[in-house]
Amino acid sequence: MNAPRRILIVDDEENVCNALRRSLRREGYELRTVTDPQAALELLKTTPVDLVISDHMMPTMTGLEFLKIVRDRYPDCVRMMLTGHADMQTAIDSINHGEIYRFLTKPWDDTELKVTLYLAFERLDLERENRKLLATVRRQYDLIKVIERDYPGIGEVRRDAEGAILIDDAEPLTAVV
């Protein structure tokens, strides 16, 4: 069984944190709530999370400032902003500078929030799988280079005029039927 998805909710209003917790309690997520961005950054040092949902207007720093730090320190973490102070410039800055996955407004629609989280985790899974595949391809490429260094010409395929594979300048291979 897969480990539960870990979500960190950062909002200076405790009632918003509690409402989000109630909205998501049956979804199987491991939820952490923090009311201060600095405390959230401290928590992230010791507790890995898959997704962060942050308010924008908070006393000590904006959600955008917070999510930029999260992006820089934890690039594998999906970032979302949930705010009651939505304006076009904040949304644009969030997406362009914080690389925010989604920008949602308060009050939120529970169904929209749940679907957005589902899609965010699907994307995260794909990104993680792509990184694994890329690492595998790079290891295989490095291995092929070592083999080609140790056995020059092993990767070459020579063919005759008809396209048949030649081995050691011998006669072309013929298929046995």
Ramachandran angles phi, psi of 120, nearest 5°: -65, -40
pLDDT tens readout for residues 74-124: 999 999 998 887 667 776 776 666 678 888 888 899 999 999 999 999 999
Q: What is the pLDDT of residue 94?
A: 67
In the predicted model, what is the mean pLDDT of the chain?
87
Q: How far apart are CA 32 and CA 19, in angstroms?
A: 13
Distance of CA 126 to the CA centre of its chain: 8
- Which H or E run includes 68? helix 63-73
DSSP state at residue 31? E
Place of tokens 């989604």: 102
User: What are the pLDDT digits (tens) for 58-76?
Assistant: 998 999 899 999 999 999 9
Identify which of 103, 44, 34, 93 has the alpha carbon closest to the alpha carbon of residue 69.
44
Specify the pTM.
0.75
Quickly count: other Cβ atoms within 10 Å of residue 108's Cβ. Answer: 18
Q: In the 8-state DSSP scheme, what is residue 2?
A: P
Is the pLDDT reported for residue 177 higher than 70? no
pLDDT level of residue 171 (50, 70, 90 thresholds)? low
The strand pairing partners of 158, in sequence order, are: 166
Ordered by where they begin, the domains of the chain are: 6-130 (3.40.50.2300)
